[in-house]
Amino acid sequence: PLLHEALHHSRMQVQGVGPLDLAGGLEFFEETAIKDTTSFVSTNVKPADSTRNVWAPFHVAALGEMTVAFLNVIHPSAFESGSDEEALAVEDIHESLTETLHYPEVKNADLRILFAHGDVDLIADAIQEITSLDFVIFGSDEDAEDRVRAWDHSRALSLWSQGRAVG
DSSP one-letter string for 85-142: GGGEEE--HHHHHHHHTTSHHHHT-SEEEEEEES-HHHHHHHHTT-----EEEES--T
Share of the chain residues as helix, strand and coil, in percent rounded to the nearest 5: 25, 30, 45
Q: What's the pTM value of the predicted model, to 2 decimals?
A: 0.82
Structure confidence at residue 78 (pLDDT):
86
34 CB neighbour count, 10 Å cutoff: 8
Q: Can you count the helices (H) and strands (E) in the chain?
A: 5, 10
Structural contact between residues 119 and 77, judged by C-beta atoms closer than 8 angstroms: yes
User: Which has more pLDDT, 139 or 74?
Assistant: 74
How far does CA 34 lie from the centroid of its chain?
A: 18
Q: Is the pLDDT of residue 165 over 60?
A: no
Residue 144 confidence class, pLDDT cut points 50, 70, 90: low
What would the mean pLDDT of 136-162 be, rounded to a whole number? 66
111-138 residue pLDDT tens: 999 999 888 888 888 988 898 999 888 8
pLDDT tens digits, 72-123: 999 988 887 556 677 888 999 999 999 999 999 999 999 999 999 888 888 8
Say yes or no to pLDDT of 167 above 70: no
